[in-house]
């Protein structure tokens, strides 16, 4: 749980991520990556039709690229109409540094994909 709380704190602090608004009660956290264009929108703007569809595609493409590259594995999950990464800390040997490395890798992957 300490590592999951660290993940939540990092996701909340970095403007390129948006956490799902639910308390961390288990070893999982749902969040999504926000490209620069999405960061300029209000939360309501990110939830509107075309922007939401585009953001959902971004999440899926990033997740697939990270998984295909073999760096980490985490699924996407649709909560309502919004696609998030579902990041679970299930290995007791996972450290804060591992979480930080995956978040950095997600950011690099997003940049490589043009997001």
Q: Read off the pLDDT of residues 27-68 as tens digits, 9 standing for 90 and up.
A: 889 999 999 999 999 999 999 999 999 999 999 999 999 999
Question: What does the pLDDT read at residue 45?
Answer: 94
Assign 92 to helix, strand or coil: coil
CA angle 23, 73, 14 (to 5 degrees): 50
Tally of structural domains, the chain: 1
Domain limits for position 24 = 2-112
Contacting residues for 26 by C-beta, under 8 A, at least 6 apart: 4
Supply the CATH number for residue 45's domain: 3.90.1150.10
- pLDDT value for 7: 93
> How many whole angstroms separate alpha carbon 14 and alpha carbon 17?
6
Q: What is the pLDDT of residues 8-25, one digit of tens each?
A: 999 999 999 999 986 667
């Amino acid at each position: 749980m300490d590592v999951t709380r660290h993940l939540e704190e990092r996701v909340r602090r970095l403007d390129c991520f948006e956490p799902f608004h639910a308390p961390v009660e288990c070893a999982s956290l749902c969040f999504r990556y926000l490209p620069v264009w999405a960061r300029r929108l209000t939360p309501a703007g990110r939830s509107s039709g075309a922007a939401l569809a585009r953001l959902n595609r971004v999440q899926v493409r990033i997740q697939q690229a990270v998984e295909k590259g073999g760096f980490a594995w985490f699924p996407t999950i649709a909560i309502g109409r919004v696609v998030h990464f579902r990041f679970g800390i299930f290995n007791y040997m996972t450290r804060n540094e591992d979480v930080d490395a995956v978040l950095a890798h997600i950011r690099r992957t997003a940049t490589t994909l043009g997001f």
